[in-house]
Chains A and B, each alone.
Chain A
Amino acid sequence: MADTPLIELREVRKVFVTGAIRYEVLKGISLAVERGDYIALMGPSGSGKSTLLNILGCLDAPTSGHYHLEAREIVSLSDTELARIRNQFFGFVFQSFNLMGRYSVEENVALPMVYRGLPRRERLQRARALLARVGLKDFNRHLPSELSGGMQQRVAIARALVNEPKVLFADEPTGNLDSKTGQEIISLFGELNAEGTTLVVVTHDPRVAEHTRRVLTLTDGAIVKDLRNGMAA
């Protein structure tokens, strides 16, 4: 099944209903995410790019349409099964890091493995390995608040990678960072992709987008542009 896309969306619609107002955020998106790809989702705010990312990451369910993950329909799965998919197939990086302030850095990184049911010793071991991978091997026992923003985002990336996900989703990962640390995150993503991790990044920052292989531009809930970057070749 090497040529089946990792993720395939067909005619995905998302409608939000607030009171009497019916708001169609995604108007029939069809999209394939190939293994090893690095996709930027761009577009003006309100274009539906974050909603699309949430649906791709199984954080949100489409109103209609199909979602195939490795050729398997997952739209009708239960909450527990979707949680398992998020846990084992996906990693998430958010604009605001979302680290747990009362846990040490290594415990934060180890958190997804708690829900995978790994024993504590193994969790911490792997968390430390991942922290070393993102260049934070001396900060295992620190609290997130003792770290700079860029370092916190690296912790979040280590956490997203700790279960060896098939796809790493990032929602404005550089949005809260200055341009220099943002650049570091971008190059870390580049390295991860070069090592084979599939990435989908929501961004409005062209400097992020230019390092990706594929740029999808959304406007009013539809993909209006789908460009392959030259560097991807």
Chain B
Amino acid sequence: MNPLEHLRIAMDALAANKVRSFLTMLGVIIGVASVIMLVAIGEGAKTYIRQELMGIGTNLLIIVPGKTETSGMGHMPSGVQKLTLADMRALEKRATLVTAMTPVVVSSAPVKLGNRLRNVQVIGTDQNFETVRNLHVEIGSFISKADVDASRRVAVIGRTVKKELFGESNPLGRTVKLGETKFRVIGIMETKGVTLGQDIDDHVFIPVETAQEIFDQDGLTNILTQVVNDNAIDRAKQQITQVLVERHAGEEDFTLVSQQAMLSTMQTILGTFTYVLGGIASISLLVGGIGIMNIMLVSVRERTREIGLRKAIGAAQRDILLQFIIESVVLSMVGGLIGIVFGAGVAYGAKAFFPAIPIDVSTWSVLTAFIFAFMVGAFFGIYPASKAARLNPIDALRYE
């Protein structure tokens, strides 16, 4: 018998009970929609993090004081020796695989102009920061080597700081107060927005030694280094370690974090997150499948006489089996299709609200969800269908 005939019979049966068919599909619709949606958002977040992390520079290796056991983000300073500018000078001479490096001192302070005040993150750094960190001045100039060497009181301000303190007026050459110290504004950074939870536009950049002076620190928060190329990262780590261990009396009291390590840590976390969310969503797909099985069992019972009649007029067990499996597969696949459209719609709708996150419905998630829906229908259809196929035609015909 032509499979299209089975399909027609199945469609007729489903069309005869439209509301019930739809409600049965709803489980699969919700399941598939949530899989599509959550995977799209999870994958979007992954792409976002990758873009952001790549955006902070290329082939970065970050040296932070204190030893942590594992690679990746975060560290627990053990409070031993600090990283100093002298350490950095030594590295500049001896770590040949490092093309550029820049010191970073992070603190926070109120910045004032007249009676306007804003609390900002203050970054003490040097002339290489622009290159290494891939952040650029838009108007004016960045901190120069001379500014650093002479510990000048000059500041480069972020877009938000400029807007909040100066409004539309030109801040170049004007004086702001950082804490109690006066600084001359020499540049405005280009707009960058929020990167990895940090609003770069709300930062103020000053020469590193000036920062150490006014915040009374002799160490550095970290040193950013740029390695010559991707393949040299491990060797650069060895070089840096060698130099610093020598300088720190044989103690490895610092940690090297590569951009790659940060990226893979984040990717792993987000990947796991995506799988967990997808897994939870799959459970609702499974529940949807059980719903289909339930309704199919009811349907087989209701249509006992129909089954008996079909057998009497020439349907073999195989025909009845196929008829009911196709019914449940049609239910789950139509549900799957609606779910895909619905889930993709919500995902793209979310994109309109969070334009920064590159939410994208991937082909593989659509295919997986669809195949999964098909399998759910086939799997949960088998039991009711085989029950129908095994019915004795005489008993079935007599069934009231």
**For the complex of A and B, 3 pairs with smallest distance between CB atoms:** A87-B314, A83-B316, A115-B314
Q: Which residue of A lies closest to B400 (CB)?
A: A96
Residue interface bits B1-41, CB-to-A below 8 A is 1, else 0: 11001000100110010000000000000000000000000
Which A84-107 residues sit within 8 Å CB-CB of chain B? 84, 86-88, 91-92, 94, 98, 100, 102-103
User: Smallest distance from the beta carbon of B6 to chain A beta carbons, Å?
Assistant: 9
Q: Which of B13, B313, B316, B397 contacts A111 (CB 8 A)?
A: B313
> B319 contacts which chain A residues (CB < 8 A)?
83, 115
Q: Are A84 and B309 in contact (CB under 8 A)?
A: no
Measured CA separation A159–B311 after assembly (Å): 14
User: Smallest distance from the beta carbon of B5 to chain A beta carbons, Å?
Assistant: 6
Known: A60-B394, A98-B309, A98-B397. Is A115-B315 also a contact (CB below 8 A)? Answer: yes
Q: Which of B1, B16, B312 contacts A114 (CB 8 A)?
A: B1
Q: Are A116 and B305 in contact (CB under 8 A)?
A: no
Q: Are B394 and A59 in contact (CB under 8 A)?
A: yes
> B2 contacts which chain A residues (CB < 8 A)?
117
Describe A's contact surface by its main secondary structure. Answer: helix
Q: Are A79 and B313 in contact (CB under 8 A)?
A: no
Besides the known contacts A94-B397, A102-B16, A111-B310, 7 further A-B residue pairs in the complex with CB atoms under 8 A apart: A82-B316, A83-B314, A103-B12, A111-B313, A114-B1, A115-B313, A115-B314
> B9 contacts which chain A residues (CB < 8 A)?
114
Q: Which of A80, A102, A159 contacts B313 (CB 8 A)?
A: A159
> A79 contacts which chain B residues (CB < 8 A)?
316-318
Q: Are B397 and A115 in contact (CB under 8 A)?
A: no
User: Smallest distance from the beta carbon of A85 to chain B beta carbons, Å?
Assistant: 8
Q: Are B12 and A84 in contact (CB under 8 A)?
A: no
Q: Is A54 an interface residue (CB 8 A)?
A: yes
> A80 contacts which chain B residues (CB < 8 A)?
316-318
Q: Is B306 an interface residue (CB 8 A)?
A: yes
Q: Is B271 an interface residue (CB 8 A)?
A: no
Measured CA separation A88–B393 after assembly (Å): 17
> B313 contacts which chain A residues (CB < 8 A)?
86-87, 91-92, 111-112, 115, 159
> B5 contacts which chain A residues (CB < 8 A)?
114, 117
User: Smallest distance from the beta carbon of B308 to chain A beta carbons, Å?
Assistant: 8
Q: Which residue of B lies closest to A80 (CB)?
A: B316
User: Smallest distance from the beta carbon of B315 to chain A beta carbons, Å?
Assistant: 5
Q: Are B305 and A115 in contact (CB under 8 A)?
A: no
20 A–B contacts, CB within 8 A, in A order: A57-B312, A59-B393, A59-B394, A80-B316, A83-B311, A83-B315, A84-B316, A86-B312, A87-B314, A88-B314, A94-B397, A98-B308, A98-B397, A100-B306, A114-B5, A114-B9, A115-B1, A115-B310, A159-B313, A163-B314
Measured CA separation A59–B391 after assembly (Å): 11
User: Smallest distance from the beta carbon of A172 to chain B beta carbons, Å?
Assistant: 12
Residue interface bits B166-181, CB-to-A below 8 A is 1, else 0: 0000000000000000
Measured CA separation A111–B315 after assembly (Å): 10
User: Smallest distance from the beta carbon of B188 to chain A beta carbons, Å?
Assistant: 74
Measured CA separation A100–B319 after assembly (Å): 17
Q: Which residue of B lies closest to A57 (CB)?
A: B312
> A111 contacts which chain B residues (CB < 8 A)?
310, 313
Q: Which residue of A lies closest to B17 (CB)?
A: A102
Measured CA separation A112–B316 after assembly (Å): 12
> A159 contacts which chain B residues (CB < 8 A)?
313
Measured CA separation A98–B307 after assembly (Å): 10
User: Smallest distance from the beta carbon of A114 to chain B beta carbons, Å?
Assistant: 6
User: Smallest distance from the beta carbon of B321 to chain A beta carbons, Å?
Assistant: 11
Q: Are A112 and B314 in contact (CB under 8 A)?
A: yes
Q: Are B314 and A102 in contact (CB under 8 A)?
A: no
> B309 contacts which chain A residues (CB < 8 A)?
98, 100
Which B382-400 residues sit within 8 Å CB-CB of chain A? 392-394, 397
Q: Are A84 and B314 in contact (CB under 8 A)?
A: yes
Measured CA separation A92–B311 after assembly (Å): 11
Measured CA separation A60–B309 after assembly (Å): 14
Which B301-351 residues sit within 8 Å CB-CB of chain A? 305-306, 308-319
Measured CA separation A80–B1 after assembly (Å): 12
Measured CA separation A79–B13 after assembly (Å): 24
> B13 contacts which chain A residues (CB < 8 A)?
102
Measured CA separation A54–B395 after assembly (Å): 11
Q: Which residue of B lies closest to A112 (CB)?
A: B313
User: Smallest distance from the beta carbon of B323 to chain A beta carbons, Å?
Assistant: 10
Residue interface bits B248-265, CB-to-A below 8 A is 1, else 0: 000000000000000000
> B394 contacts which chain A residues (CB < 8 A)?
54, 59-60
Measured CA separation A33–B44 after assembly (Å): 75
> A87 contacts which chain B residues (CB < 8 A)?
313-314
